[in-house]
Amino acid sequence: MALLYPRIGLFGRPETTGLADALRAILSCAESATPGVSMAMEEKTAQANGFSPSPSLRVGSVDALASSIDLAIVLGGDGTLLGIARQIAPSTIPMIGVNQGRLGFTTDLELSRVCEQLPPLLQGGGVVEDRAMLDVAVMRRPSESEPWQSVFNAPALNDAVISRGSVSRMVELDVFVDGHYMQSLRADGLIVATPTGSTAYALSAWGSILHPRLAGVILVPVAAQALSNRPIVLPADSQVTVMVNDGSGTELHCDMQAMTALRDGDRIVIHNSSHSIRLLHPKDYDYFSMLRRKLHWSSNPVLVNRPDPLFPSESN
C-alpha cells in the first residue's frame, strides 16, 4: 500500500536541551507505524542532539527539507511550531505538533502519548485544518519628495504587535482599514491577530477568541488611554494600515520572533497572506475541548464527550 506521507521531516528547538530521547522515540514510532518511510531531521536540531546523517536519516536545513518532505513533525511548544510554520508555509506541507511547552494551543500530541497518538495520523486517520496567516510590511518615506519604500517584511501566523518597546510612555497611532480612517490610539500597543493568534497575546489583552474556521482578523488595543477603545473583528480581506505618530522607541514584532524599530511617519501595512499553514489534527480533535483544558474553563463532566442530541449529524 502506498504511504500517505512517504517523506517525513522532524523539527525541534535546538536551544532546548535533552530532546534526544524524545526525538528518538518519535523516529521509532514513525518508522514502526509506516515501514519504508524516509525520515529527515532539521540540521541544527540534529547537531544539538547528537544525530548524524545516515542511510536511515537525512539531515538538512529548514529550506531544504521544506522542498523534499510530505509531512513535518514539530517537537516543542507553540513558539517552536510558529517558527517552523513561518518558514515552510509556502510549501503547504501539513504539520503535526508534539507539545513540550506550557500551553500548546497548536501542538496537539502529548509527548508522553506520542507512540499511541502518532501512528493513526501517519496512516491517514487525521483531519487537516488550514490556518490563515498575515503579511506584514513597514513602509517608509525618507523625505516628502521620495517614494515610499518597504524596509521590513515578515509573515505572521499569530499576530503583528506594535508596542512601546523599552520606553515608558504610550505609543501614538492612527489606524486605517481599507483606506478609511478608523481611529487614533494612545496605548501601550496594538495587536493585529489572526484567529490562531486570538488565543495568544491578544487573549491576555482581553481580545475575543476567534474560532480558527472564521475568516477574520482582530485588532486589540493594549492598555489604551481611552476606556472606550475596544477590540474589533474585521473581515479577513481587510487591509489594516497603522501610521506611527510618535515613533521613538516604538517596535513592531511578528509572532514575537521577527522585529524592527519604527520611526515617526512609518506605515505598517497588514493584510491576509496568500499562504496558510496546514495543521494535521487527530481525528477526534475538538477545538472546544482544547480550550477547556488549556484555559481551565469550568465544565460539567456529565456533558464532556456527549454530543448535542439536536445537532443534525446526531439526529435519528
| Region for 217 from its dihedrals, namely left if φ exceeds 0, alpha if ψ lies in -120 to 50, beta otherwise | beta
Query: Rounded to a whole number, what is the distance in angstroms from the first to the last CA of the chain?
Result: 36
Three-state DSSP class for residue 122: helix
DSSP for residue 230: -
Comparing CA positions, the residue from 169, 174, 209, 214 lying closest to residue 190 is 174
Q: How far is CA 167 from CA 189, 221, 249, 263, in A?
A: 12, 17, 6, 14
DSSP per position, 182-207: EEEEEESEEEEE-TGGGGTHHHHTTP
DSSP for residue 209: P
251, 163 Cβ separation under 8 angstroms: yes
Catalytic residue check, 78: yes
Comparing CA positions, the residue from 259, 79, 247 lying closest to residue 173 is 247
Q: At what angle do helices 114-122 and 20-33 cross, to 10 degrees?
A: 40
What is the C-alpha separation between 63 and 156, in angstroms, rounded? 18
Q: Which residues pair with 176 in a beta bridge?
A: 181, 241
85, 62 Cβ separation under 8 angstroms: no
211, 180 Cβ separation under 8 angstroms: no
What is the C-alpha separation between 269 and 252, in angstroms, rounded? 11
Identified catalytic residue from 21, 63, 70, 78:
78
84's grid cell = 517552523
- Please count the helices (runs of H) and the strands (runs of E) in the chain: 7, 18
Catalytically active residues, by annotation: 78
